[in-house]
A and B are shown apart, each in its own frame.
Chain A
């Protein structure tokens, strides 16, 4: 693990790379240059940190979840990304990439969105930094997340309805890529997760690493030790990568990514790419995918729109293959139970995505040593999920 990934070609072991149309080569080369410049530019860092602190609300608390700890017999800390402006970790990345877009002289940003969280976070960053903004969203997701559509419009973004394929995140990503191919000269594409062609998985990981870096500092200050487990949900995998990355070389810290098991891994309706997928190429990089035997991409399913994606970031595939991280899944039902549980005993309504990480922790508590020290990334808050959860008639 001591070897740095990605290598200069954007590979994490056998995963990653740049599988894109020729038209985008210049833009990606330009992005790579701008990113590496910005990375070592004190002024860029100062500006970004200013926005993260004053505008987004960093640092976020590392909260000791006392009642959840009692309930499980563990010591559980929640990294409260749900308390950020726009209600999820997505803004760490969108603010940074929008600043990068400005630096490159682009006047317009585009993004794909599933649940709408990345779309809203992009629209917010674009409004603040005075960039033109267009968001691509599957028709299916626009129904599921109607309120977020309105939010983005209110922020001045143009929403483009995507009608192709399964009309969800995968297709919104296709459409954003197509739009980028057509408008690449003045447009920067803000990818929302650690996916896509190099250098995107690295850029998003680095910008999200603030989650893990803060967590480490906060925890060391409080309990003077590293955690036993880091647990985070994985769709594309940006909050998990952001939490894991600063701990990758701390070999004693176990990393667990929780995928969306949907209706169960034996059904065809899940989004557990790392648990059940196979290696392939989608959206610009080589990674695990949900695909049929002929290499056509399958439609993912999850109650949580943010995890409903048939691909996953290449670095997660690498962490899985090298054995450094473990990937598991919980079902829609498990996630709903955890959604209610955290609301009732901690007074925190988690996003359905983050509820997957809570659900797995509850399961894990029966198998591991009492009082193990656990960090869960609470990647977002559940306000956006009210309609979906209400339909489930949980409250009797």
Chain B
């Protein structure tokens, strides 16, 4: 069984909400990135979403644009990314989810990608510029290897589409909390709770909410209706500000624990 499904069962049993930190692979460099991943595992992450950087990330705000650019400049690419997944997989059974854009996968070859990703131990793939309508080839190939293609739902998604996406979704649904790109926001979208409630009525898989989330307070509010949260830009910002300071790992663990605790029952 896919590690995502196992984790979801475990969370459902315990009544805990999912906490999913996002970081960009190879940021700030490959060595530090591996340390960060270990810190995430140690401090309460339920899944890890690892970004495979793309030169033109149209769904991302300035923070993740910057981490992507840095990672590419330091030599990150899809083969290295998959090698990194393979290494992490040796030390943990946490579900590992890739976030990337379509072009690096397309260039690698979709069949080849699905097979290699499976061998390396990847559990899910999120592609924010790939609508279900365009995703057939990728979805079929990933399915063959037991990897989930995770679809997104946005505040502008019509009810009809929500229904369609809910029907084809496996693993979980990524609900985009706001009309915009990734990055920290002070306030939550006014329709967030209502939209997630509607979406949950349509689907059997859990709904995790991402984009714009940075504080324990926001997480608690979102988890009133959602099954979990994804935190990205806030974490990248923290890494940017602290990775050169002493006791970085310790600080990072404290930061992550603070957020992950707000997902406790």
Contact = CB atoms under 8 A, between A and B. Distances in A.
A297 B152 CA distance: 24
A297 B133 contact: no
Contacts of B158: 25-26
B111 to A, nearest CB: 15
Contact of A296 (B55, B79, B105): B55
Contacts of B79: 294
A347 interface: no
Interface string B47-89: 0000000111111111001000100100001110000000000
Interface size class of chain B, counting residues whose CB lies under 8 Å from the partner chain = 35 or more
Given A282-B103, A297-B56, A23 B61 contact: no
B179 A296 contact: no
Interface in B126-167: 128-131, 133-134, 151-158, 161
A21 B129 contact: yes
Most chain B Cβ neighbours within 10 Å, of A9, A21, A182, A286: A21
Interface in A157-173: 164-165, 170-171
A17 B179 contact: no
B179 A181 contact: yes
A164 B155 contact: no
A170 B56 contact: yes
Contact of A164 (B62, B133, B180): B62
A329 to B, nearest CB: 23
Contacts of B56: 165, 170-171, 174, 282-283, 297
B78 A295 contact: yes
B109 to A, nearest CB: 10
Contacts of B58: 20-21, 174, 177-178, 181, 283
Contacts of B60: 178
A294 B107 contact: yes
A293 interface: yes
B128 A21 contact: yes
A171 B65 CA distance: 11
A219 interface: no
B179 A281 contact: no
Contacts of B59: 21, 178, 181
B256 interface: no
A22 interface: yes
Interface string B194-215: 0000000000000000000000
Nearest to B60: A178
| Residue from the set B55, B77, B107, B181 with the largest chain A CB neighbour count within 10 Å | B55
Interface residues on A, range: 35 or more
Contacts of A348: none
Contacts of A178: 58-61, 180-181
B128 to A, nearest CB: 5
A22 B176 contact: yes
Contacts of A283: 56, 58
Contacts of A185: 156, 179
Interface in A174-193: 174, 177-178, 181-185
Given A22-B157, A178-B61, A291-B107, A281 B102 contact: yes
A226 interface: no
A184 B156 contact: yes
A171 B130 CA distance: 20
A294 B106 contact: no
B255 interface: no
8 contacts: A21-B128, A21-B176, A178-B181, A283-B56, A284-B129, A291-B107, A294-B107, A296-B72
Interface of B: 54-62, 65, 69, 72, 77-79, 101-108, 128-131, 133-134, 151-158, 161, 176, 179-181
- In the complex, the 8 A-B pairs of residues with the closest C-beta atoms, listed nearest first: A295-B107, A182-B180, A295-B104, A294-B77, A23-B154, A296-B55, A295-B103, A22-B154
